[in-house]
């Protein structure tokens, strides 16, 4: 141990001595280097000639003979025993304010008040079913006595002059005359009440009407009459540019003049056209027919004036108007296109709301089609439908299924040649159903609207009026009644006509037909074939098909030389769905011959006003196989005056095969014609609708009559050979069932 201590001391002395020598060397070297380092700093200055004493402190490192532990302070993480709240930055959504447009309601001047439906959040019980308008009393200055009805007037017989028209044979070989002239007036016995002055009192100033006039009473039609008298109206409405209230007032005044006119005095019923009285902007309330309301006894709307007019002239009135109605289960007010029927006492006896609408924004329809009829005191039950309804099964054919054969029909029809011009389709429908169709049409050429008439089933038109001239005209026509048998007709057989004599048609010559802006069918989708004049010497036999639907054509023509070729004709076939400008669709089947202006299909269906001097059809026979159930096949003809051919100028039959559900429809031209625009078969197929319509040729022998001359309808349903067979069968059955009576018999 001692040795180790001595050895360590010696080692320390040696190390210290060496360290001291190195430090002395370093100190000396540092002083010299210091002087040399500042030499440049003082160069060129006067300070280098002065004696300067510098004191330098030298730090020496002394070696320690043993290592010394130096405590070093370093940061140490210390865990805190308590939680520390640390603020965490999160994104903050700052709401930015932007300008918002707020609709401010300001008062606007309205020319007239109009009803505004108010939706109630809760159900409110309604205690009054009928809207009642209470007039505000006001003083009235009476300057003179008011004439009133005398309960027991003194009747004096009077003779009234009435024009009677005579019809000459037309250039087409038929009794139709496109010109008429008046004969010497005939005398009709009527009665005139001397003091029957009329005062129509109305609390509405807009519709105040006071008249003092002589009233003439004609003999009414009765249940025992073979016919009844109707009046139809072709009416041009005022423009919509005038105030609505004034427009309605003008129309009502015109209605009044027509109803009171001498021409209408013989009529039992007067029918007015569609949309020619008021509008959606001034609808009226119409009472329920079941309430038996007579508005004339009430207070003032246009309904009151119409009711009073019906009572005054003692006639049935059929008026189309815009109706407002509050639907309770929806708590809203809606508007309907409505036909209203008044009886001779002014009572509302029928109300029909149009179901199939065409271009009528703002008008509503009922949840289901209404089947509306009304009875008259002359023994005829009428069905009611409006314009576009005629092309559909509901409600039109549903009324036919109920046995109706007399219909009133207000219309605003837009013509669409070559198959759907107004009087053309009206007469076609009436012929196929064998019904009396009473049509009053709106006259508005810019919309293609014109067409009024009375159509007597298989007898054709009793009256037809198609014109481009603005007109407000009333026509009176005597219509033969239809015999509706009490027996059930098998599979929709058609009843016979009461009066077998064919009435003489009267087609009023139209003027300015080029002003009527008509539509056009979609002929580019048809299968067509042009008739070439070179085929004139031969009979053209052709079968044409559109898909699986085919038609057979047999055509004979005659060429008149040396006239130039002015008319071109095409055979056409179509079967499929068509649209009516997007408002409705229907399935149609068509076979026909149509006229064209030139060889282009685009020229077909355009208006032609003159007969062809070049070519004449001597025979046309067209037949096709159509679906039977649900299909209404109709004859479809049109001449250059925009009228159908007379019923005796063609034959039309439909033979139904109930087993195969097909009907063979045939149409044949009876007499030569050079004035054809259309000749063919037009059929509507109503799917999922049970309906058959067989059409036979008229029987050569008239129906059997009893001793009083009344037709029992038997001969129109079963021919005489069939009766004999049935009689023999009945005898055979009686023999087999009761053989004991053979000897007695």
Q: Give the containing element (helix H, strand E) for 253.
A: helix 244-260
What residue has token string 């003779």? 159
Give yes or no for residue 547 having a pLDDT over 80.
Answer: yes
Options 296, 387, 591, 604, the catalytic residue? 387
Reported as a single tens digit per residue, the pLDDT across 672-682 is: 999 999 999 99
For the segment 126-152, the average pLDDT, to the nearest whole number, is 58
Tell me the backbone φ, ψ of residue 225, rounded to 5 degrees.
-70, 145
Per-residue tokens: 40: 């440049």
Q: Is the pTM of this model over 0.75?
A: no
Q: Does the active-site annotation cover 387?
A: yes
pLDDT of 86 > 70? The answer is no
Those residues with Cβ within 8 angstroms of residue 86's Cβ, 6 or more apart along the chain or in another chain: none
Q: What DSSP string describes 377-440?
A: TTS-EEEE--GGGGGSIIIIIHHHHTT--EEEEEE--B-BTTTB-HHHHHHHHHHHHT-EEEEE
CA separation for the pair 290, 350 (Å, rounded): 9
Domain spans, the chain: 197-515, 523-685
User: What is the Cα–Cα distance from 666 to 684, expressed in whole angstroms?
Assistant: 16
Per-residue DSSP letter, 737: H
Considering the candidates 254, 296, 323, 354, report the single residue annotated as catalytic: 354
- pLDDT at residue 402 greater than cutoff 90: yes
**514 assigned to active site:** no
**Per-residue exposure over 308-338, b if at least 16 CB sit within 10 Å of its own CB, e if not:** bbbbbbebbbbbbbbbbbeeeeeeeebbbbb
Q: Are 198 and 213 in contact (CB under 8 A)?
A: yes
Cα–Cα distance, 675 to 566 (Å, whole number): 12
Q: What is the pLDDT of residue 145?
A: 63
Strands 406-411 and 381-384: parallel
Please tell me which residue, 440 or 155, carries the higher pLDDT value: 440
Distance, CA of 483 to CA of 711 (rounded, Å)? 8
Please tell me the distance from the alpha carbon of residue 377 to that of residue 407, in angstroms, as a whole number: 16
pLDDT digits (tens, 9 = 90+) for 548-557: 999 999 999 9
* 3-state SS class at 679: strand
Per the model's pLDDT, the better-predicted residue between 570 and 95 turns out to be 570
Q: Is 32 helix (H, G, I), strand (E, B) or coil?
A: helix
What integer is the mean pLDDT of 712-728? 42
Torsion sign over Cα 260, 265, 269, 273: negative
Residue 130 — very low, low, confident or very high, per pLDDT cuts 50/70/90? low
Residue with tokens 């198959």: 419
> pLDDT digits over 301-351, tens only?
899 999 999 999 999 999 999 999 999 888 899 999 999 999 999 999 999
Predicted pLDDT of residue 100: 72
Answer whether 231's CB lies under 8 Å from 273's CB: no
Distance, in Å, from the CA atom of 601 to the CA atom of 192, rounded to the nearest integer, reads 62
Residues 670 and 411: beta-carbon distance below 8 Å: no
- Name the catalytic one among 215, 254, 274, 616: 274
DSSP 12-30: HHHHHHHHHHHHHHHHHHH
Checking if the pLDDT of 694 tops 60, the result is: yes
User: How far from 225 is each of 267, 315, 378, 439, 498, CA to CA, in Å?
Assistant: 14, 17, 7, 22, 10
Strand order in the sheet with 332-342: 348-353, 332-342, 316-327, 269-271, 227-235, 472-480
Average pLDDT, the chain: 78
Whether residue 604 lies in the annotated active site:
no
Which of 535, 693, 521 has its CA nearest to residue 590?
Answer: 521
Structure tokens at 480: 């033969």
698, HSE (Cβ side, Cα atoms, 13 Å): 17
User: Tokens 């044979």 map to which residue?
Assistant: 169
Residue that wins the pLDDT comparison between 73 and 583: 583
Lowest-confidence segment of 106-120, 238-252, 258-272, 443-457 by average pLDDT: 106-120
CA-wise closest residue to 277 among 322, 217, 329: 322
Q: How far apart (Å, rounded) are the C-alpha atoms in residues 444 and 427?
A: 20
CA distances for 422 relative to 170, 183, 274, angstroms: 22, 31, 14
Highest mean pLDDT among 49-58, 309-318, 531-540: 309-318
Tens of pLDDT, residues 593-634 = 999 999 999 999 999 989 988 889 999 999 999 999 999 999
* Domain 197-515: CATH architecture, name and number where available: 4-Layer Sandwich (3.60)
Q: For residue 429, what pLDDT band results from cuts at 50, 70 and 90?
A: very high
The reported pLDDT for the residue numbered 176 is 32
Determine the Cα angle at 287 with ends 281 and 288, to 5°: 130
């Amino acid at each position: 141990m001692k040795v180790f201590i001595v050895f360590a001391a010696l080692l320390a002395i040696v190390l210290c001595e060496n360290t001291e020598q190195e430090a002395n060397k370093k100190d000396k070297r540092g002083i010299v280097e210091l002087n040399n380092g500042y030499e440049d700093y003082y160069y060129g200055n006067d300070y280098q000639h002065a004696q300067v004493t510098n004191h330098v402190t030298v730090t020496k490192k002394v070696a320690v003979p043993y290592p010394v532990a130096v405590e070093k302070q370093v940061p140490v993480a210390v865990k805190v025993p308590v939680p520390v709240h640390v603020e965490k930055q999160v994104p903050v959504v700052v709401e930015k304010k932007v300008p918002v447009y707020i609709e401010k309601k300001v008062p606007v001047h309205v020319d007239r008040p109009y009803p505004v439906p108010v939706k109630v959040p809760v159900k409110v019980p309604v205690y009054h079913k009928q809207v009642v308008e209470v007039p505000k009393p006001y003083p009235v200055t009476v300057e003179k006595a008011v004439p009133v009805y005398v309960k027991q007037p003194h009747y004096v017989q009077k003779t009234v002059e009435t024009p009677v028209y005579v019809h000459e044979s037309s250039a087409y070989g038929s009794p139709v005359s496109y010109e008429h002239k008046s004969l010497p007036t005939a005398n009709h016995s009527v009665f005139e009440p001397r003091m029957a002055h009329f005062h129509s009192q109305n609390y509405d100033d807009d519709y105040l009407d006071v008249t003092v006039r002589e009233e003439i009473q004609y003999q009414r039609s009765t249940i025992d009459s073979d016919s009844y008298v109707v009046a139809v109206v072709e009416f041009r409405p005022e423009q919509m540019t005038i105030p609505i209230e004034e427009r309605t007032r003008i129309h009502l005044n015109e209605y009044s003049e027509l109803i009171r006119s001498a021409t209408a005095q013989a009529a039992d019923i007067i029918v007015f056209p569609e949309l020619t009285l008021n509008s959606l902007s001034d609808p009226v309330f119409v009472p329920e027919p079941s309430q038996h309301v007579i508005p004339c006894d009430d207070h003032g709307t246009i309904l009151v004036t119409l009711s009073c007019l019906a009572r005054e002239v003692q006639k049935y009135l059929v008026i189309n108007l815009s109706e407002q109605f509050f639907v309770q289960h929806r708590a809203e007010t809606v508007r309907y296109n409505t036909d209203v029927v008044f009886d001779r006492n002014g009572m509302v006896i029928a109300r029909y709301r149009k179901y199939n609408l065409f271009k009528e924004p703002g008008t509503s329809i009922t949840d289901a089609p209404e089947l509306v009829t009304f009875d008259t005191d002359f023994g005829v039950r009428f069905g009611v439908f409006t314009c576009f309804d005629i092309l559909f099964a509901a409600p039109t054919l549903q009324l036919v299924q109920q046995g109706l054969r007399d219909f009133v029909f207000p219309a605003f029809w837009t013509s669409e040649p070559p198959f759907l011009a107004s009087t053309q389709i009206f007469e076609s429908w009436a012929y196929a159903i064998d019904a009396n169709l009473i049509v009053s049409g709106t006259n508005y050429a810019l919309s293609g609207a014109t067409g009024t008439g009375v159509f007597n089933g298989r007898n054709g038109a009793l009256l037809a009026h198609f014109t481009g001239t603005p007109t407000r005209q009333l026509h009176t026509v005597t219509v033969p009644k239809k015999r509706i048998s009490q027996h059930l007709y098998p599979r929709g057989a058609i009843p016979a006509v009461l009066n077998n004599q064919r009435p003489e048609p009267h087609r009023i010559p139209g003027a300015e037909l080029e002003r009527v802006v008509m539509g056009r069918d979609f002929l580019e989708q048809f299968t067509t074939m042009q008739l070439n004049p070179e085929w004139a010497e031969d009979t053209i036999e052709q079968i044409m098909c559109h898909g699986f639907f085919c038609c057979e054509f047999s055509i004979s023509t005659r060429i008149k030389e040396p006239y130039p070729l002015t008319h071109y004709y095409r055979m056409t076939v179509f079967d499929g769905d068509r649209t009516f400008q997007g408002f409705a669709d229907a399935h149609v089947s068509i076979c026909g011959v149509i006229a064209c202006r030139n060889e282009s299909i685009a020229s077909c269906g355009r208006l032609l006003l003159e007969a062809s001097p070049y070519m004449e059809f001597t025979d046309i026979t067209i037949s096709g196989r159509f679906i039977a159930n649900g299909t209404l096949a109709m004859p479809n003809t049109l001449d250059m005056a925009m009228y159908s051919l007379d019923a005796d100028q063609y034959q039309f039959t439909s033979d139904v095969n109930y087993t195969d559900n097909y009907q063979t429809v045939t149409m044949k031209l009876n007499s030569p014609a050079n004035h054809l625009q259309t000749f063919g078969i037009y059929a509507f197929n109503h799917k999922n609708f049970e309906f058959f319509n067989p059409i036979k040729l008229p029987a050569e022998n008239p129906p059997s009559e009893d001793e009083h001359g009344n037709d029992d309808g038997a001969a129109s349903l079963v021919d005489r050979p069939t009766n004999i067979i049935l009689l023999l069968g009945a005898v055979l059955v009686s023999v087999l069932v009761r053989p004991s009576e053979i000897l007695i018999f």
